[in-house]
Copies of this chain bind each other. A is one copy, B any other.
């Protein structure tokens, strides 16, 4: 399919192309057009009917959008803009260079421009930044029939007509009524009698991640947004909430892997931007491992006497890192999903200690069996006494290290969140550095005692 369309574009067979594209979903058309040569885009846009053309435009990446806007005549640009929902227009302007943004704003009427500028002013992570202003608001003294008339009049331009909000004279949010309620009620009933007054709502400056999680918790299709004076100013729809959830999950994953989060899809991000998102943590973590180097260096002369101990350093530090990141990643995700809060810290510690005890015991016993019984006795049984003590040093270290790693891994993110830090930043790599350092101290401490180095 994709190749066929790209071929038609290359061969400029526009009437065949028009026929094929007219049966396709705009999101699919956008994916294919991103593979086409940019200079062909304006022509292809002109053969698409108005409405799907605007939808395809919204789905394209900002590079292609900019190219198209620059190629459009003023009339063409106005035509596309007329079809867009307000929140999409705002998102597009947000991504454009100033000159292009200015040209877009020039093609809109004064009222729309005022609204766009207001929406652009909301902080990037706020409910205001993801809301649309094209909702349907009704009055409580309307009848069901009047409500339907109103929906028929304004519904064509609204993004979501099934959930309508009831406001009073000063536009304050008073209730919610669904088209289902309206369909199942008498035509003469008043909205005040059938509306639900228990509306779940957000404020313009609420964190958008929190807003998205309300959709999940209450199974919502839309959520009204009010300003500081409780006046209805917008509505978040479920499709935008889904985008926020996926973005936030990607962001958490990035941070857990010591990457500075970026908005762009992997293949879209330039090499230098990718480099910039990765190098800060790599540098920081490399420099902080000076601690572990210093500990080993200070132990150098003792190690020279028992060089066999060196061979276990990677295994010990690897296991400590894995234990710590298991706990931290679990807790970070639980914090994100709202399953764990600060007041649960006692339960978390108790649980992690119990799990760590079980894990530590299992790992130590199996490692002892492997080291002493298999490696030493079977493979090279020369000095049984020394082998026994070496194996003991490794396994005792392993046990305590697992407990410390899980404790640090599970509590650091909770404390981070409490003091207003991002818990995800506390994840694997940072905790690994902390845990590596502690593990080496335990290792050399146990070795010094048992091997009397």
Instruction: Tell me the A residues contacting B by CB distance below 8 Å.
Output: 23-25, 27, 148, 151-152, 155-156, 161-162, 179-180, 183-184, 198, 200, 215-219, 221, 238-239, 241-243, 245-246, 249-250, 252-254, 256-259, 265-267, 271-272, 274-275, 278-279, 281-283, 285-287, 289-290, 292-294, 296-297, 300, 303-304, 307-308, 310-315, 317-319, 321-323, 325-326, 328-331, 333-334, 337, 339-340, 344, 347-348, 351, 354-355, 358-359, 362-363, 366-367, 370, 428-429, 432-433, 436, 440
Given A304-B304, A329-B254, A355-B278, A315:B286 Cβ within 8 A: yes
> With A and B bound together, what is the CA distance between A325 and B362 in angstroms?
27
A330→B257 CA distance, assembly (Å): 8
A-B contact sample (14 more), CB < 8 A, given A216-B246, A325-B429:
A155-B183, A216-B242, A249-B253, A256-B329, A258-B325, A259-B326, A266-B334, A275-B355, A281-B322, A286-B315, A290-B315, A294-B311, A296-B310, A300-B308
Docked Cα-Cα span, A272 to B355, in Å, equals 7
Copies in the complex: 2
Q: State whether A184 and B355 are in contact (beta carbons under 8 Å apart), knowing that A266-B331, A281-B322, A283-B363 are contacts in the complex.
A: no
Most buried by B among A217, A258, A282, A348: A282
Closest to A298 in B: B311
Partner of A151, one of B152, B183, B241, B330: B183
Which residues from B are CB-within-8-Å of A23?
A: 198
SS of A interface (majority): helix
Highest count of chain B CB atoms <10 Å: which of A348, A354, A428: A428
- Tell me whether A183 and B152 are in contact (CB under 8 A): yes
Q: Is the pair A282, B322 in contact by a Cβ cutoff of 8 Å?
A: yes
Cα distance A355–B277 in the bound complex, in angstroms: 10
Q: Are A286 and B363 in contact (CB under 8 A)?
A: yes
Q: Are B297 and A311 in contact (CB under 8 A)?
A: yes
Residues B218 and A221 in contact, CB atoms below 8 Å apart: no
**A179's contact among B179, B290, B351, by CB below 8 Å, is which?**
B179
* Contact residues in B for A294 (Cβ distance below 8 Å): 311
Q: How far is the CA of A311 from the CA of B302 in the complex (A)?
A: 13
Residues of B within 8 A of A333 (CB): 250, 253-254, 266
Query: Is A27's CB under 8 angstroms from B246's CB?
Result: no
The 7 closest A-B pairs by CB, nearest first: A257-B329, A219-B239, A289-B315, A249-B249, A266-B334, A292-B314, A296-B311
Which residues on the B side are within 8 Å of A367 (C-beta)? 286
Nearest Cβ on chain B to A66's Cβ, whole angstroms: 21
Query: Contact between A359 and B216 (Cβ–Cβ < 8 Å)?
Result: no
Contact B278 A319 (CB under 8 A): no
Q: Are B314 and A289 in contact (CB under 8 A)?
A: yes
Bound: A392/B225 CA distance, A: 60
- A161: which B residues are within 8 A, CB to CB? 179-180, 183
Q: Which of B259, B267, B313 touches A313 (beta carbons < 8 Å)?
A: B313
CB-CB < 8 A to A321: which residues of B? 321, 432
User: What B residues does A325 contact at CB under 8 A?
Assistant: 257-258, 428-429
CA distance A82 to B50 in the complex (A): 47
- B314 near A275 with CB under 8 A, answer no
Q: Which residues of B contact A289 (CB under 8 A)?
A: 314-315, 318-319
Q: Is the CB of B242 within 8 A of A330?
A: no
Are A238 and B221 in contact (CB-based, < 8 A)?
yes
Residue of B nearest to A286 (CB): B319
Q: How far is the CA of A217 from the CA of B59 in the complex (A)?
A: 9
Q: Can you list 13 contacts pairing A with B, beta carbon distance less than 8 Å? A: A161-B180, A242-B242, A250-B337, A252-B253, A256-B257, A258-B322, A266-B334, A267-B351, A274-B351, A282-B323, A285-B319, A296-B311, A314-B314
Query: Which residue on chain B has the smallest CB distance to residue A185?
Result: B152
Q: For the complex, what is the distance from the CA of A440 to the CA of B254, rounded to whole Å?
A: 27
